[in-house]
Structure 1
Amino acid sequence: MKTAFKGKKIEGLLAVLPEQEILFEDEMSNYAFPEKQTIKLKKLMGYKQHRVVKEKTASSDLCLAGFDRIISQGWIKKEDVGAIIVVSSTHDHLLPGTSSIIHGHYGFSEDVLCFDMMQGCTGFMQGLYQSFMLLEHMEGKKVVLFNVEVLSKKTSKRDRNSYPLIGDAASIAVISNTTEDKNIFYNGKYDGTRYESLIIPAGGSRMECTAETAEMKDFDGDGNYRCLNNLKMDGTGVFEFVQKDVPPMILETLDFAGLKTEDIDWYLFHQPNKFMLKKLAEKLEVPYEKVPMNIVENFGNSSGVCVPLNIAFNFGEKMTQESYKCCLSAFGSGLSWSAFVMELGNMSFCEMLVSEY
């Protein structure tokens, strides 16, 4: 699906991290592999450290810590908020939505809309799309888009395929209407036939969590142990998907925007690992220098939060002073893959917060 928006912008962006930072080497003893082999994986994938929440931390804790900062700095007033969107695959509860928890915590007006979206790797992209659509009906109001993941709680510490790359984080974007006459181009694609490529089998209505689903096993005979309550990733399938399906979609989006690859200042992508990003840049014939690849090595892969975390970490205050023509793209669970081509910059704030969680 391709469409275009006009008169919309990301007014401000805050990335929120947990304070606990764990080095790759500190967890190598969890894995049933020789240390030398595991170090090779570290170098290939770009692993260094990741951020992981504390045992009792929930998704809303990161969201509230971040929004407290935004409110205290006066970057937005409560009365300016017209809608709250929370995108996550790790909501606090099956019911109610995390947006309701945030709404109640701050005592927002009954007229403030609340939306929760179940989405993983393309979460920020889908949330941005929904925010732009809502703003068509919210003159004078703004959308606060929360994207949050605490997937470390759903990933086996004995699964070397998944756990080293997982990171927890949240982002909060203030989305608003603007008089700027600039087009925003969007392209989104889905293939539900491959939904099992990234899946947490137990915990929903299909398979409830039980003592049996919590039993750790080497399901694939590859030395990685997990249970049915944990994230399962088909690494080979996901890699092939990113190499085969994502580049044509990005090029199609650029063509839709009337641009060539060299017209883009920055390619701000979801970050599964450095190896995969290098291969994607090569497929697109884009210089590595235009594709920041340092999120996984510093913070881990926080699913949909990777794109806004990429922006906040690599640009920060520059996003309040400059403007860049960017291609944002994310790809993963669903399977889903999408892209935006848009101007980013002249924000009122763009920074990172390390929370107590």
Structure 2
Amino acid sequence: MVVIKGIEYYLPKQIELNDREDKLTAKIGIRQRHIANKDEYASDMGVAAANMLFEKNDINRTDVDYLIYCTQSLEYYLPTTACILQDKLGLSTSIGALDINLGCSGYVYGLSLAKALIETGQAQNVLFITADTYSKFINNQDRSVKLLFGDGATATLLSADSNKYGLQSFVFGTDGSGMNNLIVPAGGLRNPISESNKREETDSFGNVRSNTNLYMNGPEIFNFSLKEVPKSINNLMEKEGTTIEEYDYFIFHQANQFMLEHLRKKLRIEREKFSIQVDDCGNTVSSSIPIALKRELINGKIRKGDRIMMVGFGVGYSWAASSIVWHE
């Protein structure tokens, strides 16, 4: 089996508060978000998280033989940021290193890649880093996304272990027809940044943005999540031959409290078995599941032998579900 040997996370020091008197703040359950400094980028946060992982868990960086980096906040078209991270972290030049461009489902996808690499003998110890700075895409006058997203990074080490514990089954889903419902329309080669793309417009709700900013169609994302997440969970349980009652804890992508509570109630999951960790950091995209997992471990909500379900869903559309039997 493949187990998680350690998780650490990094949140930028700069904090933005949501207005407590705002009805939307109460609805989404996000009191504050951590925002990267102007000269602080996703890979910088990834380095900080990885160094914390090595230092706090007595992990030797020379043991790492593969690096996976998940981000949608690329600093360069090329080179691959994972190559830059290899150098900044002082890792061996004999390791494999690659980027995956995924958002809310990225952590589960990355775990599946790490599991495959280790179980096929291609690697022994995989360092998996997630990091995003969505704040750099967001127009400050666009409340539809500004109040939701925070910046952050995580580092996870995965290794082989000769027992029954560890990562279990995975199921995946993709529907690119929903691409325009969560997107930064301009900035790539197909639609480069231009004066016309930088022109700001105001929508019917008073939100201001340009094509170089993040756009989210909230109602469509909500409907997609309520439709596909339960299906994905049912597919996972069918694959594992389990029922919802056999899982000890649930960690979903931390989109916002409103969406999480709707999913929890729809799936009839007990509140005490369900993680909600958005109050002080918001939606940290691919880092949201590992941040919640680390916090619930610290809180004592997860113990050795517990079967945990993890579900990521969002931008793409992309979604994935998996389970892990905790080993520590």
Q: How far is 1:288 from its partner?
A: 2.1
From 57, 70, 95, the equivalent of 1:112 is 95
Q: Could you say which residue in structure 1 is the equivalent of 2:326? A: 344
* 1:42 Cα deviation after fit: 1.3
Aligned ranges 1:121-200 → 2 under 5 Å: 121-138=104-121, 141-182=124-165, 184-200=168-184
Other-structure match for 1:9: 3
Equivalenced residues, count: 327
SS at match of 1:259: coil
Distance 1:337 1:164 in 2: 23
SS at match of 2:187: coil
Cα distance in 2 between the residues matched to 1:273 and 1:133: 31
Which AA in structure 2 matches 1:341? S
TM-aligned CA deviation for residue 240 of structure 1: 0.4
Instruction: Find the aligned partners of 2:196 and 2:76 in 1 and give their Cα distance.
Output: 22
- Match of 2:158, SS state, is strand
What is the CA–CA distance in structure 2 between the aligned matches of 1:205 and 1:323, rounded to whole Å?
Answer: 48
User: Which secondary structure does the structure 1 equivalent of 2:10 belong to?
Assistant: strand
The range that moved more, 308-317 or 111-120, is 308-317
Q: Does 1:301 align with 2:283?
A: yes
Residue 331, structure 1, aligned to residue 313, structure 2: yes
Give the deviation of 1:173 after TM superposition: 0.4
Question: Is residue 78 from structure 1 mapped to residue 72 from structure 2 by the alignment?
Answer: no
Aligned counterpart, 1:211: 195
In structure 2, C-alpha distance between the alignment counterparts of 1:198 and 1:111, rounded to whole Å = 37
Secondary structure of the structure 1 residue equivalent to 2:65: strand
Bigger mean CA deviation after superposition, 249-258 or 224-233? 249-258
State the alpha-carbon separation in 2 of the partners of residues 17 and 107 from structure 1: 22
* Secondary structure in 1 matching 2:173: strand
Q: Which has the higher contact order (CA 8 A, sep 6+)?
A: 1
- Deviations along 1:315-344, one digit per CA (max 9) or x if unpaired, are 227489634210000100110111002213
CA distance in 2: counterparts of 1:63 and 1:249, whole angstroms:
29
- Which residue identity is paired with 1:17? L
Tell me if the contact between 1:82 and 1:138 (Cα under 8 Å) persists in the aligned partners: no
Deviation of 1:91 after TM superposition, in Å, equals 1.9
For 1:143 and 1:60, locate their aligned partners in 2 and report how far apart those are by CA, in whole Å. 17
Secondary structure of 2:232's partner? helix
Tell me, yes or no, if structure 1 residue 291 matches structure 2 residue 285: no
Answer whether contact 2:134 2:150 (CA < 8 A) is retained: yes
Does residue 21 (structure 1) correspond to residue 15 (structure 2)? The answer is yes
Q: Residues 307 and 323 of structure 2 are in contact (CA less than 8 Å); yes or no, is this contact kept in structure 1?
A: yes
CA separation of 1:78/1:47 partners in 2, compared to 1, >3 Å: closer, same or farther? closer
Q: How many Å separate the matches in 1 of 2:244 and 2:56?
A: 38
> Secondary structure at 1:339's aligned position in 2?
strand
Q: Which amino acid aligns with 1:14?
A: E
Separation in 2, partners of 1:107, 1:57: 20
Q: TM-score, normalised by structure 2?
A: 0.94
- 2:298, 2:82 → 1: CA distance? 26
1:270 partnered with 2:264: no
Given the superposition, is the C-alpha separation of residues 332 and 198 from structure 1 closer, same or farther in structure 2, using an over 3 Å criterion? same
User: Any idea what SS the aligned residue of 1:340 has?
Assistant: strand
Confirm or deny that 1:98 pairs with 2:73.
no
Aligned-residue offset at 1:78 = 2.3
Partner AA of 2:66 in structure 1 = A
Specify the code of the residue in structure 1 equivalent to 2:9: A
- Residue ranges of structure 1 left out of the alignment (5+ in a row): 1-6, 27-35, 347-357
Give the Cα–Cα distance (whole angstroms) in 1 for the partners of residues 304 and 187 of structure 2: 45
Cα distance in 2 between the residues matched to 1:179 and 1:86: 26
**Residue 34 (structure 2) aligned to one of 42, 51, 64:** 51
Deviation at 1:145, TM superposition (A): 0.1
Quick one: distance in 2 between partners of 1:57 and 1:77?
A: 26
Q: CA deviation at 1:165?
A: 0.6
Q: CA deviation at 1:235?
A: 0.4
The AA in structure 2 aligned to 1:83 is Y
1:72 offset after TM fit, Å?
3.2
Q: Which moved more, 1:266-275 or 1:207-216?
A: 207-216
User: Structure 1's 226 and 181: CA in aligned 2 closer, same or farther, altered over 3 A?
Assistant: same
Deviation at 1:312, TM superposition (A): 1.4
1:249 maps to a residue whose letter is: S
Structure 1 counterpart of 2:216: 233
Gaps of 5+ in 2: none
Work out the CA distance in 2 between the residues paired with 1:49 and 1:317.
21
Instruction: Report how far residue 9 of structure 1 moved.
Output: 1.0
Aligned with 2:279: secondary structure?
helix
Q: Is the 8 A contact 2:2 2:119 kept in 1?
A: no
CA contact (8 A) 2:153 2:287 kept: yes
1:20 & 1:122 partners in 2: Cα distance?
Answer: 26
